[in-house]
Structure 1
Amino acid sequence: MYIHLDRSSATPLWQQIVTEIIQKIHTQKLHPDDQLTPTRVLAQELNVSRSTVQLAYDELLARGYVSTSRRGGTKVISSDQYTASTPHQSEPPFSPPTRPHFEEAEKQMDHWLSANQFHEKLDIDFRHQEPAIDAHFQNIWKRSLMKALQRLDMKDWGYSSSHGLWEVRSEIRQYLSVERGIDVEEDQMVLTGGTQQAIDLISQVLLKKGDTVAVEDPGFPGARLSFMHREMNIHPSPVDEEGMVVNTLPRRTKLIAVTPSHQRPTGVCMSVNRRQQLLKFAVSHQSYILEDDFDGDYRYHGGPLPSLFSEAPEHVIYILSFSKVLAPGIRLAAIVGSRAVMKEIAALQSLIQRQLPIMEQITLASFFKEGEFTRYVRRMRQLYKKRQAAMMEALLTHHFDKHFRIYGTDTGLHVFLEGAQDFDEKESIEAAKAAGVGIYPLSPYCFESNRKGLLLGFACTDENMIQEGVRRLKKILHI
């Protein structure tokens, strides 16, 4: 059996022997039941050690190309795959099954993401999907990571609870008690890889195919599209100055997804009367409320609003995300609910991915433990408050309030300018882009709603740039 070895190659000789023999099998120079040259003989022929040949034969055996026995030696096994032609050459291309609900959700998600794509080349970008992230944040996060690693024990690298690390849940529990009036125990919380995953886990545990889910319209596309993917019956409930219009909810509604502290994207806060209507509906119809508190820490007049969960813990599932408070890249959120529901969600999480990665969890725990979280939120709240004030001053100075209804002025990281029915979002956005300014449309957040308007974020833009950006917008929008 002729085998060519390139002794100048970086590839080990035994690997070269393996490659050559496999090539001979595939090209039918070696046939099923052909016996390979004994190791001692082939070693002499190739002028290599017998152990080198034995290593090659062991590898062929491990890969399933040969069989070996004391009497028969090493033989090529019988297999239909060894043909001169490329395997599967004549087979039609394989594709996954069609899934209409998934494909439609994917298409709409792409539309939403592309409409909110950040414009790095623009002079001023009023992007609204992320908080400001600077060197200060990176430094304190790195410091928290190093302190967490110093406290880390060997056992912490093993399997842990699918609820999430106890240390993290304990810190979040204390924070929720002080800042949100939510008093729970650690077993009433499950950590997830962000809000999107949290919503999907909740839908799988609490709902079945065809159940009715009410969503805000306009509202967060991520929630609606997650329910669409799971083949739920989506009911869009309109949003007005007081939040979701509760009297539009069907009696059969199983789950109601809301952002009461700062409606996404219009920015309104759900009124006390509307909150009571929503809670009363959930109790009387045995429905769940999914409360998404995505940026409630950033309220500029008064403290954070009380949660729906604190008023009806058996009917509300609360989600706390760190994407807007800290940074999207952290990919951590917490689901809070009754013990029975959290037990089921944790079991599902264990089935899907067993547990979350450890590094982000221990760093976040350290971030809380060292007091960095409180200090950072306080610092950023003051920064955003100044930028929000600069945005409102610029809008009012240039009389935007005479052409738009302005929402979301007390909480969050953006304002919403609602236009008339004939307002052309696309034309305005293109004109702004030509002037070096990035603004964003309301329409990707709408399901059946025909409301029109613009979303202007201020978190990532300083006061001077805000003023200049609004000045340019006034000119292009002919205000």
Structure 2
Amino acid sequence: MYIHLDRSSSTPLWQQIVTGIIQKIHTKTLNPDDQLTPSRVLAQELNVSRSTVQLAYDELLARGYVSTSRRGGTKVISSDQYAASPPRQSEPPFALPVRPHFDEAEKQMDHWLSANQFHEKLEIDFRHQEPAIDEHFQNIWKRSLLKALQRLDMKDWGYSSPHGLWEVRSEIRQYLSVERGIEIEEDQMVLTGGTQQAIDLISQVLLKKGDMVAVEDPGFPGARLSFLHREMNIHPAAVDEEGMIVDTLPERTKLIAVTPSHQRPTGVCMSVNRRQQLLQFAVKHQSYILEDDFDGDYRYHGGPLPSLFSEAPDHVIYILSFSKVLAPGIRLAAIIGSQAVVKEIAALQSLIQRQLPIMEQITLASFFREGEFNRYVRRMRQVYKKRQAAMMHALLTHHFDKHFDLYGTDTGLHVFLEGTPDFDEKGSIEAAKAAGVGIYPLSPYCYESERKGLLLGFACTDEDMIQEGVRRLKQTFCI
């Protein structure tokens, strides 16, 4: 039985023998009940050791291609299933279930992501979806990882709580107490793989199909589309200079998703009056508030704003994300809530995921424990403050405030330039791109809102490039 062996290949000889015999079975060179050449004889023919051939025959037996007996030797199994390889299909062999809500959510998510795709080839990119990530961050994160590995015990590699590792939750609890005025116990927290997963877990625990969910409009598409996928009724609540307009919310609203510390994407902070209105609505109608604090650490005049959770912990579910504060690749967020709600969320987490991977968790715990988190946030707050000041100075110097309403000027990582109802977002973005500048539209964040404008991030662009970019935009827009 001839089998070609490539002795220069990295594939072991016994595997090449297996592949060669299977090919002969598929092409009917070997037929059912044909006896394979005895291992001693085949070894001589192929100039290999008998153990190599025997290893190949054992593999064929394990895969079910052959059978063996003392009298009959090794034979090809009597079956026609090896007559030909199954045809490859580009489509599933059966119809997939129709999922209209998922398909619509996927389409809108793709639209949002494509509209915010980074312009790698442009000289200046005012991208706003991520923080600055440099070698300094990589070095201190690496240092925290190494320190965490030194502390790691073998038992830590086993199963752990679906809430997340206790040491991580303990560090986050202390941070929230000092920086946000949020007083909780460790069992009031569940760690998740980012904000999107957190929102999905919350919707599955607190809501049922057809429940009314209020979202900001314009607002974070990820939240709205997650609720749409779970077949909730969406109420788009308009946003003005004080935040979400509360008095338009339907009485049967079960959950209200807001970004009060820095409205995403307009950048406004929810006023005290609106905050009280929202909390009173939740108490009166027995609703939950989903508070997404995605970049509250970066406020440039005064400290972080107090959370809604600290004022009404029984009615607020608080999400703390590290994607904007540190880096999206960390993929960690924390859900904070009452013990009863968090217990249910942890149970669901255990059912669908069991627990999070440990590496990012132990590194984040070390990052907090060694004081790196506070030092890093203080450092980046100063970096962003200078870049925010450069952005505002350039916009005002070039009189953008006479053509746009400027929002988000003292918090977060971007500035919102609102145009008139007839403002041409697409044309402006294309013109800016031709000038080597990347800017981004408001429209993908809108559900029913017809507001128009541009989003200019400053986190990833230094002061000189910010000034040059705004100067080019002035010439492009003929301001």
Indicate yes or no: 2:13 matched with 1:13: yes
Indicate yes or no: 2:131 matched with 1:127: no
Structure 1 residues 439 and 78: alpha-carbon distance in aligned structure 2, compared to 1, 3 A threshold: same
Structure 1 residues 71 and 315: alpha-carbon distance in aligned structure 2, compared to 1, 3 A threshold: farther
Structure 1 residues 313 and 403: alpha-carbon distance in aligned structure 2, compared to 1, 3 A threshold: same
**Which residues in structure 2 correspond to 1:440-479 (within 5 Å)?**
440-479=440-479
Corresponding residue number in structure 1 for 2:230: 230
The amino acid across from 1:306 in the alignment is: P
Q: TM-score, normalised by structure 2?
A: 0.94
Q: Residue 425 of structure 1 contacts residue 441 of structure 1 at CA under 8 Å; is this kept in 2?
A: yes
Corresponding residue number in structure 2 for 1:316: 316
Q: Residue 317 of structure 1 contacts residue 336 of structure 1 at CA under 8 Å; is this kept in 2?
A: yes
Size of the alignment, in residue pairs?
A: 477
1:465 counterpart SS class: helix
Corresponding residue number in structure 2 for 1:342: 342
The amino acid across from 2:236 in the alignment is: P
2:253 counterpart SS class: coil
Q: Which digits, 9 at most, give the CA deviation of each residue in 1:356-404, with x for residues without a partner?
A: 2222111111111111111111111112112212222222222222211
Aligned equivalents of 2:360 and 2:125: distance in 1?
Answer: 29
Indicate yes or no: 2:328 matched with 1:328: yes
Q: CA deviation at 1:107?
A: 1.4
Structure 1 residues 380 and 62: alpha-carbon distance in aligned structure 2, compared to 1, 3 A threshold: same
1:416 counterpart SS class: strand
Aligned equivalents of 1:5 and 1:397: distance in 2?
Answer: 76
**Which residues in structure 2 correspond to 1:415-454 (within 5 Å)?**
415-454=415-454
Q: Residue 7 of structure 2 contacts residue 13 of structure 2 at CA under 8 Å; is this kept in 1?
A: no
Aligned equivalents of 1:90 and 1:141: distance in 2?
Answer: 45
Aligned equivalents of 1:436 and 1:335: distance in 2?
Answer: 40
Corresponding residue number in structure 2 for 1:375: 375
Q: CA deviation at 1:29?
A: 2.8
Q: TM-score, normalised by structure 1?
A: 0.94
Q: CA deviation at 1:153?
A: 1.5
The amino acid across from 1:334 in the alignment is: A
Please say which of residues 306-315 and 15-24 is displaced more in the overlay.
15-24
Corresponding residue number in structure 2 for 1:3: 2
Corresponding residue number in structure 1 for 2:286: 286
Indicate yes or no: 2:100 matched with 1:100: yes
Q: CA deviation at 1:128?
A: 1.1
Please say which of residues 123-132 and 259-268 is displaced more in the overlay.
123-132
**Which consecutive residues of structure 2, in runs of 5 or more, have no partner in the other structure?**
none
Aligned equivalents of 2:146 and 2:89: distance in 1?
Answer: 56
Q: Residue 323 of structure 1 contacts residue 332 of structure 1 at CA under 8 Å; is this kept in 2?
A: yes
Aligned equivalents of 2:395 and 2:53: distance in 1?
Answer: 79
Q: Residue 3 of structure 1 contacts residue 17 of structure 1 at CA under 8 Å; is this kept in 2?
A: no
The amino acid across from 2:308 in the alignment is: L
Identity of aligned residues (%): 87
Corresponding residue number in structure 2 for 1:170: 170
Aligned equivalents of 1:293 and 1:241: distance in 2?
Answer: 18
The amino acid across from 1:473 in the alignment is: L
RMSD (Å), alpha carbons: 2.0
Corresponding residue number in structure 2 for 1:249: 249
Q: CA deviation at 1:417?
A: 1.0
Structure 1 residues 70 and 248: alpha-carbon distance in aligned structure 2, compared to 1, 3 A threshold: farther
Aligned equivalents of 1:7 and 1:415: distance in 2?
Answer: 62
Structure 1 residues 162 and 93: alpha-carbon distance in aligned structure 2, compared to 1, 3 A threshold: closer
Q: Residue 5 of structure 1 contacts residue 13 of structure 1 at CA under 8 Å; is this kept in 2?
A: no
Q: CA deviation at 1:26?
A: 1.1
Structure 1 residues 281 and 80: alpha-carbon distance in aligned structure 2, compared to 1, 3 A threshold: farther
Aligned equivalents of 1:466 and 1:67: distance in 2?
Answer: 73
**Which consecutive residues of structure 1, in runs of 5 or more, have no partner in the other structure?**
none
Aligned equivalents of 2:44 and 2:113: distance in 1?
Answer: 65
Structure 1 residues 343 and 461: alpha-carbon distance in aligned structure 2, compared to 1, 3 A threshold: same
